[in-house]
Amino acid sequence: MELNSDILLAIILVLLIALGGVYFYLKGKLKEVQEIAAQAAKSSAPVMRKTPDDKQKHLFPLKVQAYERIVLFMERIEPSSLVMRVKTNTMKANELHGALLHNIREEYEHNVAQQIYISDNAWNLVKQAKEETIRIVNMAANSMESSATANELTRDIFEKMMVLPQSPSQIALDYLKQEIKEIL
């Protein structure tokens, strides 16, 4: 038994010495890396911080472009222009309904990134206009017979729009125009 405990003690002692060596080696390497990083930081050119004016100078064209794209989006989902752009003579009401919804969602997805450049209020109005337009199209489609034509759906959409004091898109457009005037 004594032999085994002596061997075990020797193994533990060798392991401790090896671990100590690895520890001091890695500690030295870490210190070298830190010194190299510190020298690199000192020798590199100073970082130019952008002033608020520089940021605004670069952001302003992006903001204006975002407002332009959102205005175009609102114009494109306005039911009168949307129906005229999407509808064909051979469509049935259910085909037109699907095409209108697809077009609205596609236009929205294409412009969703613009929200980072416009105000939260403006973006909320844009989303609301999109949802209200979808709701109007769905209401008109749900009131149609299965054999209805695209012309009948178009007429029903326009009738529902005529009841409103302003279209959802126009409400959002008015707000966007007011906001962009404040920025310019």
Residue type for position 166: Q
Contact 161, 139 (CB under 8 A): no
For 26, counting Cβ atoms within 10 Å of its Cβ (0-12 exposed, 13-18 middle, 19+ buried), the class is exposed
CA 89/CA 75 separation, integer angstroms: 23
- Give me the helices (H) in 112-164, please: 120-142, 150-163
Per-chain mean pLDDT for the chain: 88
- Sequence-separated (6 or more) residues with CB below 8 Å from residue 153: 93, 96, 97, 140, 141, 144
Residue 99 structure tokens:
């095409």
Kindly report, residue by residue over 29-45, the tens digit of the pLDDT: 778 767 777 776 666 55
CA 128/CA 170 separation, integer angstroms: 12
Can you tell me the mean pLDDT for 171-178? 95
Kindly report, residue by residue over 132-166, the tens digit of the pLDDT: 999 999 999 999 999 999 999 999 999 999 999 99
Can you tell me the mean pLDDT for 168-183? 94
